Homo-oligomer: A and B are copies of this chain.
Amino acid sequence: METGVQTTVPAEKSDVSAATKTPTTLSSDSIINFARGDPMLYEPYWKNKGDRCKMVTLGDELMSYFSNALNLCWFLMPELDCAIRRLHRVVGNAEADDRFIIVGNGSTQTFHALLYALSSGHPEPVSVVAAAPFYSSYPEETEFLQSRLYKWAGDANCFDKDGAYIEVVTSPNNPDGSIRHTVVNREGGKSIHDLAYYWPQYTPITHKADHDVMLFTFSKATGHAGSRIGWAIIKDKAIAAKIVKFVELSSIGVSKESQLRAATILGVISEDCQNPRLEEENFFEYGRRIMSSRWKKLREVVMKSNGTFVLPEYPRDYCRFTGEYTDSNPAFAWLRCKEGLNCEKLLKDECRIITRGGTCFGVEETYSRVSMLCSDAEFDFMLERLSTIKN
């Protein structure tokens, strides 16, 4: 493991190539990258868990293609299946019982699989839409293979075409942290509910989500982005079977090593939530404490910018998981500059901070997205840089 503080906040999703990749020690003149959401803030928590999260694999283990030949999702390890269902029961964020769980190589592959599953059988390419600001990788992920099954059709708020469509609903939303619902709501429309950030460290768990098609990812839930584990929770068996078919034809399943490790780590989280240990925070308490503290510090710096920057406000809400009214502490800060300013450029030129500008998300360049998931050292460095801007 690399342990030194780096200027790179490594890749969040599919835009790695866009930004600085050279790791160097943080110094006063270095460019630092907050364009991507590599979730390194959770590393210290897992370091403290010691042997409880240790996974040992021998040379003759996990060799077969199959994980459970009797299951519709034949490549899903039963251990991960159980761990995912248990965690959703413990957190109460999604209905997983009596649903199909399909594992993918990250939620990215699962997203592709869903486009395939929800669009097959239509004579024309199905329109894929999401309300702006939308996750910046959806357009390219939808378009890059030039499939005849589906096409990117932009902002759901402006969607007025006839015909079949898929609306992607990210809630809490990436980039702006808002709670989202479908906006098109036309008969025959389908939706993908990307709930990557619907965990107690980011937002109050107000209800148990129960959509037809829900997506989660290990990366944002626990910070284990390197394992490439995502999962879909699906009501309809025929849709589930198509997702399985996609993963089969794309990669013949998903790393068993990663699946078992995810099962172990999700299991430890559930265990600690159900059977609290004296003077030990469970994972979500830790995550919420760190995120809440970061947001507090960031808001202070932004307030001192005298209106150069503005941050969204989020309503407090009752969290069924913690049993308290809690704040939203989104994984990204959605900064807005004064009218007429290019926020991404301003941050780069004035603060040597790389962020991702509003146009990537389908909105104005007055916005830019800043990752809140970096290491502590990087976060403090970012605040320091940001605080140098005065109107």
Binding site for B on A (CB under 8 A): 1, 6, 8, 10-14, 16-17, 21-23, 36, 38-40, 42-47, 49-50, 52-67, 69-70, 74, 104-106, 108-109, 112, 116, 137, 140-141, 144-149, 219, 223-229, 244-246, 248-258, 261, 265, 268
Closest to A225 in B: B65
Whether A59 pairs with B74 at a CB distance below 8 angstroms is: no
How distant is the Cα of A183 from the Cα of B10 in the complex, in angstroms? Answer: 44
Chain B proximity of A26: nearest CB distance (Å): 15
Query: Top 3 A-B pairs ranked by shortest CB distance?
Result: A53-B59, A10-B66, A255-B255
Task: Say whether, besides A1-B61, A39-B63, A109 and B250 are in contact (CB < 8 Å).
Answer: yes
A140 → B minimal CB distance (Å): 6
Q: Copy number in this complex?
A: 2
Which residues in B have their C-beta under 8 angstroms from that of A246? 144
Q: A146 contacts which chain B residues (CB < 8 A)?
A: 147-149
A248 to B44, CA, bound (A): 27
Contact call A64/B52, Cβ cutoff below 8 A: no
Shortest CB distance A228–B (Å): 5
A267 to B148, CA, bound (A): 43
Task: Report the minimum CB–CB distance from A216 to chain B (whole Å).
Answer: 15
A258: which B residues are within 8 A, CB to CB? 255-258
Please measure, in the bound complex, the distance between the C-alpha atom of A134 and the C-alpha atom of B109, giving whole angstroms. 27
**Closest chain B CB from A239 CB (angstroms):** 15
* Min C-beta distance of A70 to chain B, whole Å: 7
Given A40-B63, A63-B39, A228-B251, verify A261-B57 contact (CB < 8 Å): yes
A105 touches which one: B16, B74, B148, B255 (CB < 8 A)?
Answer: B255
Question: Which listed residue (B63, B244, B252) contacts A223, Cβ 8 A?
Answer: B63
Given contacts A64-B225, A64-B226, contact A56 B56 (CB under 8 A): yes
In the complex, residue of chain B having the shortest beta-carbon distance to the beta carbon of A148: B146
Closest to A224 in B: B63
Is A14 touching B248 in the complex (CB atoms < 8 A)? yes
Taking a contact as CB atoms under 8 Å apart, the answer to whether A140 and B69 are in contact is no
Give the residues in chain B near A144, CB-CB below 8 Å.
Answer: 116, 246, 249
**Extra 12 A-B pairs, beta carbons < 8 Å, given A226-B257, A228-B252, A228-B253:** A6-B69, A11-B66, A16-B74, A23-B69, A47-B59, A63-B224, A64-B226, A105-B251, A112-B250, A145-B145, A148-B148, A225-B252
> How far, in whole Å, are A36 and B250 apart by their CA atoms in the complex?
17
CB <8 Å contact, B257 and A261: yes
Considering the chains assembled together, what is the distance between the CA atoms of A67 and B8 in angstroms?
Answer: 12
CB contact under 8 A between A245 and B13, given known A23-B69, A146-B149:
no
Contact B63 A225 (CB under 8 A): yes
Cβ–Cβ contact A245 & B17, under 8 A: yes
Cβ B251 vs Cβ A251 within 8 A:
yes
* Chain B residues near A10 (CB-CB < 8 A): 64-66, 69, 74
Closest Cβ of chain B to A220, distance in Å, is 11
Separation in Å of the A270 CB from the closest CB of chain B?
A: 14
